[in-house]
Amino acid sequence: MLIKKAADIPAREITEQKVYLNRRTFLRAGVLAASTVATAGVYRAMTRSAAPSAAPQARIEGVKVADKSLEAQGFWTAEAKTPREKIIGYNNFYEFSTDKYDVAELAQKFDTRGWTIEVNGLCAKPKTFDLDDLAKVAPIEERVYRMRCVEAWSIVVPWDGIPLRKLLESVEPVSEARFVAFQTLYDPKRMPNQNSNVLQWPYVEGLRMDEAMHPLTLLATGLYGGKLPPQDGAPVRLVVPWKYGFKGIKSITKITLSATMPTTTWNIDAPNEYGFYANVNPKVDHPRWSQATELRLGEARRPTLPFNGYAEQVAGMYAGMDLKVNF
Ligand SMILES: Nc1nc2c(c(=O)[nH]1)N[C@H]1C(S)=C(S)[C@@H](COP(=O)(O)O)O[C@H]1N2
Ligand SMILES: [Mo]
């Protein structure tokens, strides 16, 4: 990314944190991988047992509920929410500008009328969704998530959205689907910085199927109880809270189920710096700066947590993988 200086980040010792191995999730993943009859139905049953209480609503009749069980599941955090002005005034959205303070103004007139998201690939019922269709897929839930940019700044955002899993289940993935690829709109007239070659366009991202089906993975349509502002990825963006922020692809127009690992924008741009998995890991420094700490916007610098504080919910998906690297 363009922020190259982080020399001021003190190299600090982080207590060795034993990665929490969720053995049951691991075993289920093994069964799934071994299964030759894994249908969408089988996948559904397995992922459901990973999340005993199906995503309760964090907002009930306009009242925000600070429920411990939501916090335990990772759906909510008691940490101070970053003020809305900061969230919508400091953005990475290279289709508009590489200057975080300029994105908001340059994206203000971004026209999202008639928006559709095509969901295709390895599924029984491919479909192009407009925003009304999307609203019918599942009720909107509020999630208060930490977001940690790979550049070592972070925010806490009250998102509104639907679990990605609900959308994927609605198109009935077939057993060969192992990955999900995402694409941002490509339209240089509406996204003027796509006339530059600062990145390869359109911006693309991807998740492994189990990551995409994880209860924490959100398709966000709003924040702070209102519509998603253009600078934050209107009308629909991805939020994967345990991964670096660049996985959270904005203004999505296409989602494709595939058998092979999709290419991703930042990996194409700098393969030695950004990998496919990109799980937040304070012990693996970026080649050009430390990842041990982060600047919480409007607050003090603080230690970065493994999996951005969501290890208990997600570490089991990476059992047996070398977590010393992000690739
Ligand atoms: N299409 C697109 N999606 C994107 C980006 C981008 O440049 N283009 N930047 C990513 C990065 S690096 C981060 S940190 C987050 C920032 O989200 P925010 O501006 O809403 O905080 O969006 C991600 N999604
Ligand atoms: Mo980022």
Atom of ligand 1 nearest to the CA of 233: 20
User: pLDDT digits over 228-237, tens only?
Assistant: 999 999 999 9
191 is a domain residue: yes
Number of domains within the chain: 1
Q: What pLDDT was estimated at residue 322?
A: 82
CATH label of the domain that carries residue 43: 3.90.420.10
Q: What pLDDT was estimated at residue 126?
A: 98
By residue range, what is the domain housing residue 137? 11-318
Q: What pLDDT was estimated at residue 323?
A: 65
Instruction: Read off φ and ψ for residue 170, nearest 5 degrees.
Output: -70, -20
Rounded CA-CA distance 171/83 in Å is: 37
* Residue stretches of the chain with pLDDT short of 50: 3-63
What pTM value is reported for the model? 0.83
* 169 and 40 Cβ atoms separated by less than 8 Å: yes
Rounded CA-CA distance 242/254 in Å is: 23
Distance 18 CA to ligand 2 centre (A): 26
1 is a domain residue: no
293 is a domain residue: yes
101 is a domain residue: yes
Mutational pocket test of ligand 1: of 2, 81, 92, the residue with most ligand atoms within 8 Å of the beta carbon:
92
Ligand nearest to the CA of 100: 1
33 is a domain residue: yes
Residue in the block written with tokens 């996985």: 247
DSSP letter at 184 equals E
Radius of gyration of the chain (CA): 19
Amino acid in the structure at residue 289:
W
| CA-to-CA separations, 174 to 37, 138, 157, 163, 177, in angstroms, rounded | 10, 21, 33, 19, 6
Residue in the block written with tokens 């069980």: 69
Closest residue by Cα to atom 21, ligand 1, is 91
86 is a domain residue: yes
Q: What pLDDT was estimated at residue 326?
A: 64
6 is a domain residue: no
Residue of 94, 136, 118 whose CA lies nearest to 233? 94
326 is a domain residue: no
The burial of 275, by beta-carbon neighbours within 10 Å (0-12 exposed, 13-18 middle, 19 or more buried), is given as middle
Ligand nearest to the CA of 220: 1
Strand (E) positions, the chain?
59-60, 63-64, 116-121, 127-130, 141-148, 153-163, 179-184, 204-208, 218-223, 226-227, 237-239, 252-258, 293-296, 301-303
